[in-house]
Amino acid sequence: MAVREDADQLVRSTDSQHPANLICELCRKFYTLGWVTGTGGGTSIRHNDHIFIAPSGVQKELMQPTDMFVMDYNNRQYLRKPTTLKPSACTPLFLAAFDRGAGCCIHTHSQWAVLVTLLVERDFGTKACFEVERIEQIKGIPKGKGKAGNLGYHDRLRIPIIENTAHEEDLTESLEKAMEAHPDTYAVLVRRHGIYVWGDSVQKAKTQCESLDYIFQLAVEMKRLGLPWTT
């Protein structure tokens, strides 16, 4: 299908839960958390066969619904492409999450996520995952795709870490490999960069992203105090 530059009906809605409105609202909230500072990070929502994606290089807290790109999930062609904006370099990474059944994918440049990747490298090496256990907030993370319920207090949370690349889209292959090697994970950390978190729905992706950020901040403080992440 050809790009319809006038396809504004795809992003115009008075419903606050419409993906184009929701991405703008979420990014405003994420900005206050330091997750999308300086145009970094991004959010994408899959609604049926439509993928809504925030553009690249824009002030994420000031975006308008009309700034959104819309892609057809099946043929990967843009249905709506704002002419003055660039598509997000995160797009192939978001698609990797949607290919695994996600309904929403959030990418942040959270400093807590970045610090955790550095601490894991220093103390456990470049092949290690971030691992933590016996922290109540772990219950905010599901057990895994096709598994009922969330992790329990006594479970160990493991988040794989991939190495950063010069260009965001070049992370796709290693992100997909990490997803295959860790089929239960709903998140992948990127060293010295941030994190990709996805969920079955917008609400789940947001809950998981918040829970993980809380855990990462706690983990950094625990390390500062000489407290171990696992027993």
Residue positions annotated with a catalytic role: 136
Is 90 annotated as ligand-binding?
A: yes
Give yes or no for a contact between 31 and 109, defined as CB atoms under 8 angstroms apart.
Answer: no
Q: How are beta strands 161-162 and 187-190 bridged, if at all? A: parallel
Is 107 annotated as ligand-binding?
A: yes
Half-sphere exposure of 80 toward its Cβ, with a 13 Å CA cutoff?
A: 20
Residue for token pair 């550095």: 118
Q: Cα separation of 188 and 26, whole Å?
A: 20
Is 129 annotated as ligand-binding?
A: no
Give yes or no for a contact between 142 and 151, defined as CB atoms under 8 angstroms apart.
Answer: yes
Is 193 annotated as ligand-binding?
A: yes
Query: What residues are paired with 43 via a beta bridge?
Result: 106
Residues 6+ apart with CB under 8 A from 56: 39, 42, 85, 86, 87, 88, 89, 90
Query: What residues are paired with 206 via a beta bridge?
Result: none
Q: What angle do CA 67, 72, 74 make, to 5 degrees?
A: 155
Annotated binding site for Zn(2+): 107, 109, 193
Annotated binding site: 90, 107, 109, 193
Annotated binding site for substrate: 90
